[in-house]
Amino acid sequence: MIEPLTSDPSALEPTVYLVDDDDAVRDALGFLLGTVGLDVRSFADGLALERVLEAEGLPSIGCLLLDIRMPHISGLQLQLHLQERGVDLPVILLTGHADVELCRRAFRQGAADFLSKPVDEAELLEAVQRAVRQHLRSRERQAASGQARERLSRLTAREHEVLRGMLNGQTSKQTARALEISARTVETHRASLFAKLEAKSLAGVIRLALAGEEAV
């Protein structure tokens, strides 16, 4: 698995990894993407990209722009290779030979978009910016989930039981009866878990618990 360079989604500028065996296409698309402030790294084939990712890791935010028909490894094959190695960058596939079956395969493999050459400039910029926003939201959710799991790990086993009661809509008395403890003890555990979760309201506790629900 290729690790990100940083876990902070806002730490680096978005990077577009552009893979196309046509020099003129790489130059033209690289220039176009640069006009909207995107950092573009271009490669003539997928193997070169894989070597760089292995050596350097990934930026926090970005996307992959892959030509489908290339020597050594196709865009669809490269998409699968990168997924197997834990690369979560959204993939936009380009083809000069529009084909319904290729399009279906791309989307079945999780492609964010599929564009035909010659690419409409406005359509490409919109697709790339949409993919970058998608990746940013995904990384932000991952960061929030990680923070939630860390806070939930601070709770004792009893506090987790009380939390589950809260998530089920139980009152302190109902939780107390279910756990065979006093309502005052439940209130003590509730106050403790609020502090440990750094939550100021019941809604805050529920949001955090849902974000890290795998740990509850």
Residue 188, pLDDT above cutoff 60:
yes
Beta strands in 85-132 (DSSP E): 91-95, 113-116
pLDDT tens-place string over residues 60-71: 689 999 998 888
Residue 191, pLDDT above cutoff 50:
yes
**Is the CB of residue 17 less than 8 Å from the CB of residue 89?**
yes
Residue 201, pLDDT above cutoff 70:
yes
What token pair was written down for 138?
């995904």
pLDDT computed for residue 54 by the predictor: 84
Q: Which fold has domain 15-144?
A: Rossmann fold (3.40.50)
pLDDT tens-place string over residues 100-154: 677 788 888 888 898 988 889 999 999 999 999 989 888 878 777 888 888 999 9
Cis, peptide link before residue 9, omega less than 30° from 0: no
pLDDT computed for residue 10 by the predictor: 47
Any idea which of 21-35, 76-90, 160-174 has the lowest mean pLDDT? 76-90
Among residues 9, 109, 22, the alpha carbon closest in space to that of 61 is found at 9
pLDDT tens-place string over residues 132-146: 998 988 887 877 788
Q: Supply angle C-alpha 132, 137, 141, rounded to 5.
A: 145
C-alpha 212/C-alpha 205 separation (Å) is: 11
pLDDT computed for residue 177 by the predictor: 93
Cβ-in-10-Å burial (0-12, 13-18, 19+) of 137 comes to exposed
Residue 25: phi and psi, rounded to 5, are -65, -45
Give residues with Cβ within 8 angstroms of 6, minimum separation 6: 12, 60
Q: Which strand (E) or helix (H) includes residue 147?
A: helix 121-152
Q: How confident is the model at residue 3 (pLDDT cuts 50, 70, 90)?
A: very low
Domain residue spans of the chain: 15-144, 153-215
Q: How confident is the model at residue 25 (pLDDT cuts 50, 70, 90)?
A: very high
Q: How confident is the model at residue 98 (pLDDT cuts 50, 70, 90)?
A: low
C-alpha 42/C-alpha 20 separation (Å) is: 8
What is the overall mean pLDDT for the chain?
85
Domain 153-215 in CATH 1.10.10.10? The answer is yes
pTM of the predicted protein model: 0.65
% pLDDT > 90, the chain: 43
